[in-house]
Amino acid sequence: MTNEQLQKLVEDISNALFHLPFQHLATFNKKLRSTGGRYLLLSHNIDINPKYLEELGVDELVGIIKHELCHYHLHLQGKGYNHGDPDFKQLLKRVDAPRYCSVLKSAEQKRKASYHIYECKDCKQIYKRKKRVNTEKFVCGKCRGKLQEVTRK
């Protein structure tokens, strides 16, 4: 899907569900990592993460667009557009938009797979950590022995 096709899709969803025009720019943004999309308050544009379309399909993309359009239309109307605002929650429910987007399969695999494994040289206690540990500074919590990195998974 191109940016032009995305723009047309956003405009169509806005007209069909919100009965209001979308008069700004909707684009794919490959730099988005932890979210499916975002509404930019200053420019009123919408950025969409293309990975959600690739991995989860058009239905997930439409849900993200509906969510971002809720932010967009409420903000332009001067109503509560933040996630916790009652106006936002009501509009989400009315247009059947998700409150949060699904987790990407690639992000889930990456999150599960990346950690460091340390072992105590004395008591052989195993420690799994997401971040690296300074083995010169930290010691085993069980016997105060020296730690060594076994593998990085």
Q: What is the pLDDT of residue 104?
A: 85
Q: What is the pLDDT of residue 108?
A: 72
Average pLDDT over residues 68-82: 96
60 annotated active-site: no
Average pLDDT, the chain: 92
Question: pLDDT confidence of 141, banded at 50, 70, 90?
Answer: very high
Q: How far apart are CA 92 and CA 152, in angstroms?
A: 42
Q: What is the pTM of this model?
A: 0.73
Domain boundaries, the chain: 3-108, 114-152
Closest by CA to 66, choosing from 115, 104, 9, is: 9
Q: What is the pLDDT of residue 151?
A: 76
> With pLDDT > 90 as the criterion, what percentage of the chain qualifies?
79
Average pLDDT over residues 51-68: 94
Closest by CA to 14, choosing from 44, 56, 41, is: 44
Task: Give the lowest-confidence range in 11-20, 48-57, 132-141, 144-153.
Answer: 144-153
Q: What is the pLDDT of residue 50?
A: 95
First-last CA distance in the chain? 35
pLDDT above 90 (res 33):
no
Catalytic residue (one of 4, 11, 68, 136) = 68
Is domain 3-108 annotated with CATH 1.25.40.20?
no
Q: What is the pLDDT of residue 77?
A: 95
Range list of H helices, 77-145: 86-95, 105-113
Handedness of CA 141, 142, 147, 150 (dihedral sign): negative
pLDDT above 70 (res 112):
no
